Structure 1
Amino acid sequence: MKLNAIIVEDEQTSRDILKNYLSKYCPNVNVLGEAENIEQALVLIRNNDLDLVFLDVEMPYGNAFDLLEKVGDINFETVFVTAYNHYAMEALNAHASYYLMKPISIDELIKAVDYVTEIKSKEDALQDQVLVPKTNSVSGKITIPQQDGFEVINTADILYCKADDNYTEIYLNSNKKKLVSKTLKYFEDALNDGNFARIHKSYLVNVNEVVKYLKGKGGSVVLSNGKQLMVSASKKSDLLSFFK
């Protein structure tokens, strides 16, 4: 699959190295243009249909996060390229698909491109389709602790779970909500029957309740009750693999 890309990097040498690596080792990447600051990048983003943006963090007159904020809703994947590893958490919060450290490792660059290629292929395959999970809803049960004992609920009745520090909010298709003194990781492990997907650090969803996938800054899903939940870039490929 061909990926239309741009390189946003203020140093000419770094742009040339990345472009050369892409040409040699990632031939499916078509570099449409280069930008040395966020204003030039905005022009390229608005005038091209992009799949991928290689984005340096530190640039003159603003950084990568300023650029993404100005762009708003986007439908391309972002690979951050930087010499500073302390931006990793911010990059994840900005829904970066991959984080490359300078000097760029060819192996890591290939992994980043392969990951984005996989995501875009799955998105294109699912575009304009009604989402049908590969797994069928099962009538399993789970117990949730309460002060006076525990409650048994059907896993099929769970729409999604949301992290709340060391608690988890469980949203049911009856419009009821349960607050449980267990972490989201606990429920991710407990609900491992193939019908639940961790889509974000804060969300675990019942894939049988997902009716629509929306491209965007990090992507999002719409559930059967109309609730829209954000998908983190690192979880996007895993989520899309649940669907035909």
Structure 2
Amino acid sequence: MEDKLKAVIVEDEMASRETLSTYLDNYCPDVQVLAEADSIKNGLEIIKKHKPDVVFLDIEMPYGNAFDLLEQIPEINFEIVFVTAYSNYAIKALNLSASYYILKPVSIDELIKAIEKIKANKSNSELSIHSKILLDNIQEVNRPNHKIVLPTLNGFEIVHVRDIIRCQANDNFTEFYLKDKQKKLISRTLKFYEELLTDFDFVRVHKSHLINFQYVSKYIKGKGGQIEMADGSVVDVSVSKKAEFLDRFK
């Protein structure tokens, strides 16, 4: 019989801790909750004591946040499921790293899905890699040095945001074109990456094209026009996006 995942919950609200613990007990038989904590200080103590496989961690807590806790752990050798009320900054950071998170109020389906993913990654020796990338990004002041985890059909790949020249829609997939001439087919929509990469100087210029503004080499006039990128590729600009794109040069 497969060993259960040892878990702890770090959440300052008692009602939220009780709800999560009950859901795990009733719907996730592969998880055993060993302890709960209501603060960063107590969370550190139970993590050190129980050495869990997975930590359910609220992002915003009194006297600090989840990242303050993680920075005090020399080696993250457990997976993390972040439990959070909606925060645009937090969600973008979590999506960049492909970390597991559940929005409050907790959905049973999303909870089960997170546990299934963790079990799969644990068997593939990929424990905590998402959390490590997340923490690296949180600590990285220089935004172009941020990394992004790209889920592929065979697993995932980690690339620097600064090395992405452009992204192109391909049905429900996105093709990533990188600085080193590599091309990656990623199992997420272009809309997802538009929302994720806007803060990193990426611009949606067409329904099929999202470009890194730093790699624009030339603009060619036309009804919408075209953009030549640093790698020599040319992408169309839609009429509706033309003014927005040209405004970036003012």
TM-score by length of 2: 0.51
- Unpaired segments ≥5 residues, structure 1: 125-159, 169-181, 191-200, 202-244
1:78–1:96: 8 Å Cα contact kept in structure 2?
Answer: no
User: Aligned-pair RMSD on alpha carbons?
Assistant: 3.0
- Cα gap change, 1:32 to 1:106, in 2 (>3 Å): same
Which amino acid is the alignment partner of residue 50 of structure 1? P
Task: Give the equivalent residue in structure 2 for 1:90.
Answer: 93
Q: 2: CA distance between counterparts of 1:113 and 1:107?
A: 10
- Deviation, 1:185, is 9.9
- Unpaired segments ≥5 residues, structure 2: 127-157, 167-176, 186-195, 197-250
Give the 5 Å matches for 1:33-182. 33-86=35-88, 87-92=90-95, 95=97, 97-123=99-125, 164-166=162-164
Note the alpha carbon deviations across 1:140-193, whole angstroms, 9 max, x for none.
xxxxxxxxxxxxxxxxxxxx986634559xxxxxxxxxxxxx526962348xxx
Higher RCO, Cα 8 Å, sep 6+: 1
- Cα gap change, 1:121 to 1:188, in 2 (>3 Å): same
- Deviation, 1:56, is 0.4
- Deviation, 1:50, is 1.2
Q: 2: CA distance between counterparts of 1:103 and 1:41?
A: 21
Secondary structure, counterpart of 2:71 in structure 1: helix
Task: Give the equivalent residue in structure 2 for 1:193.
Answer: none
**Runs of 4+ that moved beyond 3 A:** 160-168
Q: 2: CA distance between counterparts of 1:38 and 1:161?
A: 31
Secondary structure, counterpart of 2:124 in structure 1: helix
The answer to which structure has the higher helix fraction is 2
TM-score by length of 1: 0.52
Secondary structure, counterpart of 1:70 in structure 2: coil
- Deviation, 1:91, is 2.9
Task: Give the equivalent residue in structure 1 for 2:30.
Answer: 28
Which amino acid is the alignment partner of residue 162 of structure 2? D
| Identical residues among aligned pairs (%) | 48
Task: Give the equivalent residue in structure 2 for 1:127.
Answer: none
